[in-house]
Amino acid sequence: MASKDYYELLGLQKGASDDEIKRAFRKLAVKYHPDKNQGNEEAEAKFKEINEAYQILSDPEKRAKYDQFGSAAFDGSGGFGGGGFDGFDMGGFGDIFESFFGGGGGSRRKNGPARGSDLEYTITLTFEEAIFGVEKEISVTRSENCEHCHGSGAEPGTNSKTCPTCGGAGQVRVQRQTPLGSFVSTSTCDTCRGSGKIIEKPCSHCRGKGNVRKTRNIKVNIPAGVDTGNVMPLRGQGEHGQRGGNPGDLYVRINVAPSKVFTRKGNDVYIDTHVSMAKAALGTEITVATVDGNVKYSVPAGTQSGTMFRLKGKGIQRVNSSGKGDQYVKVIVDIPKTLNKEQKEALYDLMRASGEEFDEANAPKKKLFGKNK
Residue 180 pLDDT class (50, 70, 90 cuts): low
Q: Where are the domains of the chain?
A: 1-69, 262-334
Neighbours of 355 (CB within 10 A): 6
- Single-letter code of the amino acid located at 13: Q
Mean pLDDT of 80-99: 39
230 is in an annotated binding site: no
Residue 19 pLDDT class (50, 70, 90 cuts): confident
What is the 8-class DSSP label of residue 73? Answer: G
Residue 140 pLDDT class (50, 70, 90 cuts): very high
146 is in an annotated binding site: yes
Interval 218-242: pLDDT, tens: 999 999 999 999 999 999 999 998 8
pLDDT at residue 162 tops 50: yes
159 is in an annotated binding site: no
pLDDT at residue 330 tops 50: yes
Mean pLDDT of 354-371: 67
pLDDT at residue 14 tops 70: yes
Residue 94 pLDDT class (50, 70, 90 cuts): very low
pLDDT at residue 91 tops 50: no
> Residue 193: its pLDDT value, please?
73
> What CATH architecture applies to the domain 1-69?
Orthogonal Bundle (1.10)
DSSP, residue by residue, 318-342: PTTSS-B--EEEEEEEEPPSS--HH
203 is in an annotated binding site: yes
Closest C-alpha among 230, 327, 217 to residue 270: 327
**Residues 108/95, Cβ–Cβ less than 8 Å:** no
Burial of 139 (0-12, 13-18, 19+ CB in 10 A): exposed
Distance separating the N- and C-terminal Cα atoms of the chain: 118
> Residue 280: its pLDDT value, please?
93
CA dihedral 45, 47, 49, 55 (to 10 degrees): -150
Which value, in Å, is the radius of gyration of the alpha carbons in the chain? 40
Q: Which CATH superfamily is domain 262-334 in?
A: Urease metallochaperone UreE, N-terminal domain (2.60.260.20)
**Residues 262/127, Cβ–Cβ less than 8 Å:** yes
Question: Whole-model pTM above 0.85?
Answer: no
Task: Give 182 or 108, the one with higher predicted confidence.
Answer: 182
163 is in an annotated binding site: yes
Residue 352 has, within 13 A of its CA and on its CB side, a CA count of 12
Q: At a CB cut-off of 8 Å and minimum separation 6, what does 47 contact? A: 29, 32, 33, 34, 37, 180
Task: Give 359 or 203, the one with higher predicted confidence.
Answer: 203
Could you check whether 1-69 and 262-334 share the same CATH topology?
no
Mean pLDDT of 322-337: 93
**Residues 323/224, Cβ–Cβ less than 8 Å:** no
260 is in an annotated binding site: no
pLDDT at residue 99 tops 70: no
pLDDT at residue 96 tops 90: no
> Residue 100: its pLDDT value, please?
42
Task: Give 330 or 169, the one with higher predicted confidence.
Answer: 330
pLDDT at residue 88 tops 50: no
Q: Percentage of the chain surpassing pLDDT 70?
A: 83
> Residue 178: its pLDDT value, please?
62
Q: Which of 9-18, 61-70, 140-149, 273-282 has the lowest mean pLDDT?
A: 61-70
Segment (H or E) for 41: helix 41-57
> Residue 119: its pLDDT value, please?
93
Mean pLDDT of 82-101: 40
Mean pLDDT, the chain, whole residue set: 82
Interval 254-268: pLDDT, tens: 999 999 999 999 999
